[in-house]
Amino acid sequence: MSDSAAFDLGFDPDVLREKYRTERDKRVRVEGNEQYQQMQGDFSHYIDDPYIDEVINREPLTDTVEVAIIGGGFGGLLAGARLREAGVKDIRMIEKGGEFGGTWYWNRYPGAACDVESYIYLPLLEELNYMPKQKFTRAPEILAHSKAIAEHYKLYDNACLQTEVTEMKWDEASALWIINTNRGDAMKARFVVMSNGPLHKPKLPGIPGIDTFKGHSFHTSRWDYDYTGGDATGNLAGLKGKRIGIIGTGATAVQCVPHIGESADQLFVFQRTPSSIDVRNDRPTDEEWFNSQAPGWHQHRMENFNTLVSGGIAEEDLVNDGWTEIIRNLLLLMKIEKNSNLSKADLAGKMELADFQKMEQIRARADTVVNDAATAEALKPYYRQFCKRPCFHDEYLETFNRPGVELIDTAGQGIDRITETGVVANGIEYEVDCLIFATGFEVGTEYTRRSGYELYGKNGQSLTDNWSDGVSTLHGMHSRGFPNCLIMGNSQTAFTANYPHALNEQAKHLSYIINHALESNHRVIEASEQAEAQWVETIVKMARMGERFYAECTPGYYNNEGKNEDRNPKNTNYGGKSMRFFKMLEDWRDAGTLEGLELT
């Protein structure tokens, strides 16, 4: 890059590229996913459910239902809703938590909210005739909406809450799944939908001494309001007079740190990698605007957003937020140059420039908001915006101006160890009364380790064995050898920033298939060997497209903790545009031939 070009842009891309590389290299750890501690054995109390008022007592079940849905989050709820709409009556929801809501049941920490726009994030808005209160909805509203969906579609009927699946076995003779649970159930189901959630299993850092800490501690996904006081809106009166340490600065920490900082006497925020903190600009819903939307608006808005965030072109940007801004910038660049016939390489170059520009803006925000120059510098993210989950918040950065709040930046190294009384970082011990782990969830580990139960398909083969070489499915939904089992999730299917959109498309698809099988009196559906092999080949081929981008990213769960080269391409998402994948599923259903499935 010439000096004058760098001057025009306000930054030198070569310098930034080099800075991104050195920041990334500091953070790469040989252990990758192995650096984390599972919550089992002495650590299992971290996943106890703190939200149950009353433990349900019931006899073990051995009855049979047509469809069992595992997981009462958005995926399970959407599957239940679409199956009900298709006319399926005999449905049982099975959920570990005491209520529907999934991730929003567990994640009730102060400040929890969704920063994907509520008008596209909340499912079934037209069906329930529901107007979200704000552009960005808060966790309690999402939990309430989850319950409303369950009520609207009568999913409480026959549901098993507070019930954790421990194992599933396919019984060849009866062509039924036998589902064992921690309640002693051995219930049976003709079809099983598995919607375990992609961020279901919280993790701890595998730091020396973590088992020796004698103060209070908990993970953000099991917030201890008995200790902190207050509620999802903050006001954590229990933290008065307390010294708190929080480990992690991802999307969760960004939302709860302002509330802890407001109430605790002292807060140490232990940072390994700063998040990108863009403007949130939340506002109440304009009722008139909302009511003026034409029927079908919800799907249309979701599609518009997805098209834009996956790099496509749309006539207008309906959502018009921080997620779509990078694409707006790109279109602006292209218009200025009056050149829309760009080659792929040119487009990638323009994308990188738009990304640099966006991240420069985010870094400048830290300087503008944070008073202490060194703290502001440490809060600046040096990586491309979509290397990690982008965050949007208007109070997080300000929190570091509070007298009792201190950022303990570890220059990418993480904390050294935990002692009986505190946390050691950069060789210094910080004494705390309470340690909060905002250290996220398992992503790159085996499917059954994350779901918490094994399934045994035909000939008693386990899913873990079957996938020991990598995930193997047709459309991410069917895996040969595991008939009548429909998987909702992330692997080998389209990924979108608005995850409920993908779940809705999966729900429509599986309800079509199950309903078809029930109506046509087919007892067993299974992916054909050839169709599954072809799909896996497609996934592997397409996985290569994003390889360079992720290889150059700072470590995180988007790139297998910096070990992108070790990532089995079979375990990735569909590498094409999500809208293309959804259209492909729709065309498949329209064809009506259930191509690639064997029905008996």
Shorter beta-carbon distance to ligand NDP: residue 218 or 270: 270
Shorter beta-carbon distance to ligand NDP: residue 488 or 510: 488
**Per residue in 95-124, is it b (16+ CB within 10 Å) or e — as a string?**
bbbbbbbbbbbbbbbbbbbbbbbbbbbbbb
Tokens 């809705």 belong to which residue?
504
Region near ligand NDP per CB under 6 A, out of 5-13, 38-46, 110-118, 587-595: 110-118
- Which DSSP state fits 574? B
Region near ligand NDP per CB under 6 A, out of 5-13, 149-157, 241-249, 300-308: 241-249
- 429 burial level (CB within 10 Å; 0-12, 13-18, 19+): middle
Shorter beta-carbon distance to ligand NDP: residue 37 or 163: 37
Strand intervals (E) in 395-453: 405-409, 417-418, 422-425, 428-431, 434-437
> What are the CA-CA distances from residue 183 to residues 61, 144, 597 (Å)?
9, 26, 34
- In a 13 Å sphere around the CA of 537, the CA atoms on its Cβ side amount to 6
Least Å from the CB of residue 563 to ligand NDP: 13
Provide the phi-psi class of 53: left if phi over 0, else alpha when psi is between -120 and 50, else beta. alpha
| Residue 415 sits in the site that holds ligand NDP (CB under 6 A) | yes
| Residue 503 sits in the site that holds ligand NDP (CB under 6 A) | no
How far is it, in rounded angstroms, from Cα 407 to Cα 427?
15
Site for ligand NDP in 245-284 (CB under 6 A): 247-253, 255, 270, 272-273
Under rule CB under 6 A, how many of the chain's residues touch ligand NDP? 27
Shorter beta-carbon distance to ligand NDP: residue 112 or 264: 112
Shorter beta-carbon distance to ligand NDP: residue 102 or 414: 414
Least Å from the CB of residue 471 to ligand NDP: 20
Shorter beta-carbon distance to ligand NDP: residue 155 or 267: 267
* Binding-site string for ligand NDP from residue 360 to residue 399, where x marks contact by CB under 6 A and - marks none: -----------------------------x----------
Count of beta carbons in the 10 Å neighbourhood of residue 450: 19
* Binding-site string for ligand NDP from residue 426 to residue 455, where x marks contact by CB under 6 A and - marks none: ------------xxxx--------------
The answer to whether the CB of 200 falls within 8 A of the CB of 441 is yes
Least Å from the CB of residue 389 to ligand NDP: 3
* Binding-site string for ligand NDP from residue 24 to residue 53, where x marks contact by CB under 6 A and - marks none: ---x--------------------------
Least Å from the CB of residue 208 to ligand NDP: 10
How far is it, in rounded angstroms, from Cα 405 to Cα 33?
30
Tokens 């930054």 belong to which residue?
11
How does strand 422-425 pair with strand 417-418? antiparallel
Residues 6+ apart with CB under 8 A from 255: 109, 110, 111, 112, 113, 393, 396
Least Å from the CB of residue 113 to ligand NDP: 6
Site for ligand NDP in 173-202 (CB under 6 A): 199
How far is it, in rounded angstroms, from Cα 341 to Cα 444?
38
Least Å from the CB of residue 553 to ligand NDP: 11
Least Å from the CB of residue 561 to ligand NDP: 7
Shorter beta-carbon distance to ligand NDP: residue 21 or 84: 21
Shorter beta-carbon distance to ligand NDP: residue 249 or 578: 249
Shorter beta-carbon distance to ligand NDP: residue 389 or 475: 389
Residues 6+ apart with CB under 8 A from 497: 116, 305, 306, 309, 323
- Which DSSP state fits 224? -
Shorter beta-carbon distance to ligand NDP: residue 340 or 426: 426
Q: Which residues of the shown chain bind ligand NDP in the complex (CB under 6 A)?
A: 27, 113-115, 199, 205, 207, 247-253, 255, 270, 272-273, 389, 414-415, 438-441, 556-557
